[in-house]
Amino acid sequence: MIAAPAPPPFLQLAGHPLRWRLLSELARSDRRVGELCDLAGQRQSLVSYHLRRLRDGGVVSARRSLADGRDTYYVLELARCGELLGSAGASLHPGLALRSDPGMGNGSARARVLFLCTGNSARSQMAEALAEQLSAGAVRAVSAGSHPKPLHPNAVRVMRERGIDLTGRRSKHLGEFTGRRLHYVISLCDKLREVCP
């Protein structure tokens, strides 16, 4: 009798229930260890052990907070996960290799994305406009801030150079979007990320 081949390393790595839970949580947002412990209902030493395994496997990375440098955020390496998942499928059968779909996003449903930063005066406004332009209508983007300030003239100038007019846009408080159904909420600074509900 011929022994079956071992599962691909990605499946061995991601197949552990706690590691799969951590990957699932990181797919939703960058997280601190304490947040992951609360979400998984596990002690920090166990979560840290499995995070280290995921980091060693190249599917998770860590970065220091840009707000104050004290916190470490764990980040899902989405492109790497996609590569490993595609090769895992292909190892079972060539027809299971994942391919990128150039037509993806051309359906009738548009993705709804909220970009957040502290002032909603530059970064998030620019991200909102760029997402709508670069997605060719596949994304419906909005933006807001925790402490809105008037739209920065340099943001208007820089976007005008790219052929995008920001004049007439207003800064909005993130509270305006409470209760709205969104596909993604993207924070553009750690300061906001740490106060965002």
Q: So which residues are the catalytic ones?
A: 117, 189
Contact 75, 26 (CB under 8 A): yes
Residue 123 CA to residue 92 CA, distance in Å, equals 44
d(C-alpha 151, C-alpha 37), whole Å: 39
Contact 148, 176 (CB under 8 A): no
Asked if 59 contacts 81 with a C-beta cutoff of 8 angstroms, the reply is yes
Q: In 10 A of CB 78, how many CB atoms? A: 11
